[in-house]
Amino acid sequence: MQINGKTYRTIWFENNIVKIIDQTRLPHRFVIKDLKTTKDSINAIKTMEVRGAPLIGATAAYGLVLSIIENNDQSFLKKSSEDLIASRPTAINLKWAVDRMMKKLSGVNNNEILKIAIDEAKAIVEEDVDFCKNIGLNGLKIIEEIAKKKKDTVNILTHCNAGWLATIDWGTATSPIYHAHKKGIKVHVWADETRPRNQGANLTSYELNEEGVPNTIIADNTGGILMQRNQVDMCIVGTDRTLSNGDVCNKIGTYLKALAAKDNNIPFYVALPSSTIDWNIKDHKDIPIEERNSEELSYVEGLDKNNKLQKVLIYPQKSKAMNLAFDVTPAKYVTGLITEKGVCEASEKGLKGLFK
C-alpha cells in the first residue's frame, strides 16, 4: 500500500537484514529500521515497533532467519524460537509462524538451512498478502450489498489497527474497505482511537489517509451513540486469536463495540486469515491475555508547538493504572467471519466448513 505515494510493505528482507517500518514513530515520523539479530526482532515485537497479529508472525519468521545468520546451530535456533514465541502472548500467529518455520528447520544441519529459512519466511509473507487480498474480495461483497440497499456512503466502524500496517499488505479489516474504495463505492470509516496506544488514530487513520479513504477518528466511547443515530452501517474488526467455536480475541474494547452493535442491529464482522485460528483452545478463559506496562496509559506522546515529539504524564502521579491489551467477544455477537476462503458463521460448523 501507499505512503506518500510510494508503495511499501511492512517488512522486507534485503542483504541479510530485515527492514521494518517503525510503527512506534508513526504517524509523526516515518522511519525504516534495520533488524540484524534475533534480539532485534524480539525487541521490535515487544516494544511494538511491529505489531498486529500477522505482522508479528512474519517478524518472528524472519527472526529465525536472523538467528541462523548469527549462529547456525540447532540449540541456538531452538532457544531463539522459544524467545520469539514468548515475546507477545496473545496473537496466535506468532506461535503459528515459529512452529511452521521450525518444522522446516529442526534437524537441518547443512548449508542449505539458511536458504530453506529464507524461502519459508518469504512463503509466510506472500501467503499473508494473498490471504489478506482474498479477505478483501470476500468482504467487498458485503459492503457492495449494503451500498446497493443504502444508495449512499457506507459508514464502517473499526477498532484498533487491523490495517495493512498490522499485516504485510492490504490488512484484514481494512482490506474489504480498500477494495470497495478502489471499486468506486463510497465508504467512510469511523476509526476508534483505541486507547491506550491509539493504534486507531495513529495507524488506521494514517494509513486510510495515505490511501485517500475518508475517515474520522472517534474517542473509544463514541461508537455507541453513532450506532443509535444510524451513523454506522457495519463494523469490521480484526482478531489476534479466534477460537474454533468462533469466539474472537481482539484489542481491548472490541467486546463493548460488539455489544453496542448487537443492541442496535448493526452487523459486526471479524476479518481474519486462517493463521489466526486457534484450533486447540476450547475455552476463551484459557487465552493468554497480555497485560502491558501501565505507563502506556499514564503517558502520551505527541508533537509540541515546535514540532518536537514530547512524552507527558497525564494521570495523577500517585494513581495506579491497569493495562489489559485484549478482550474476547463471544461468537454470539459476531455476524460473520470474513476469511481468505469465504465468509462463514462464527462457529465450529462455520469454520470447519471452510477449513477442514
Q: Which of 61, 91, 105, 261 binds ligand MRU (CB under 6 A)?
A: 91
Closest to ligand MRU by CB, 244 or 275: 275
Closest to ligand MRU by CB, 160 or 287: 160
Q: Crossing angle, helix 74-86 and helix 38-46, to 10 degrees?
A: 10
Please state whether beta strands 17-21 and 32-35 pair in parallel, antiparallel, or not at all (unpaired). antiparallel
Please state whether beta strands 17-21 and 2-3 pair in parallel, antiparallel, or not at all (unpaired). unpaired
How far, in whole angstroms, is CA 162 from its chain's centroid?
Answer: 4
Closest to ligand MRU by CB, 46 or 79: 46
Nearest residue by C-beta to ligand MRU?
A: 238
Taking contact as CB under 6 A, which single stretch among the options 49-57, 144-152, 182-190, 220-228 is the one that binds ligand MRU? 49-57
Taking contact as CB under 6 A, which single stretch among the options 24-32, 75-83, 136-144, 235-243 is the one that binds ligand MRU? 235-243
Whole-number Å distance between alpha carbons of 64 and 343 = 33
Q: Which of 57, 136, 238, 246 binds ligand MRU (CB under 6 A)?
A: 238
Closest to ligand MRU by CB, 72 or 323: 323
Q: Is 199 in the site for ligand MRU (CB under 6 A)?
A: yes
Among candidate residues 169, 240, 247, 278, the one labeled active-site is 240
- What mask of x and - would describe binding to ligand MRU in positions 239 to 278, judged by CB under 6 A? xx---------xx---------------------------
Whole-number Å distance between alpha carbons of 315 and 23 = 24
Whole-number Å distance between alpha carbons of 75 and 315 = 45
Q: Is 166 in the site for ligand MRU (CB under 6 A)?
A: yes
Closest to ligand MRU by CB, 250 or 298: 250
Q: Is 63 in the site for ligand MRU (CB under 6 A)?
A: no
In the complex, minimum distance from the CB of residue 16 to ligand MRU, in angstroms, rounded to a whole number: 27
Q: What is the 3-state secondary structure (H, E, C) of 51-120?
A: CCHHHHHHHHHHHHHHHHHHCCCHHHHHHHHHHHHHCCCCCHHHHHHHHHHHHHHCCCCCCCHHHHHHHH
Residue 101: closest CA among 116, 91, 111:
116
Pair 334, 248: CB distance under 8 Å? yes
Residue 240 designated active-site: yes
Q: Is 215 in the site for ligand MRU (CB under 6 A)?
A: no
How far, in whole angstroms, is CA 19 from its chain's centroid?
Answer: 18
Taking contact as CB under 6 A, which single stretch among the options 31-39, 101-109, 149-157, 162-170 is the one that binds ligand MRU? 162-170
Q: Is 11 in the site for ligand MRU (CB under 6 A)?
A: no
With 0-12 / 13-18 / 19 or more C-beta atoms within 10 angstroms meaning exposed / middle / buried, residue 4 is: exposed
Q: Outline where DSSP puts E strands in 212-267.
A: 215-218, 234-237, 241-243, 248-251
Whole-number Å distance between alpha carbons of 149 and 235 = 17
Closest to ligand MRU by CB, 169 or 233: 169
> Which residues of this chain interact with ligand MRU, rule CB under 6 A?
51-54, 91, 160, 162, 166-167, 172, 199, 238-240, 250-251, 325
Catalytic residues, which ones?
A: 240
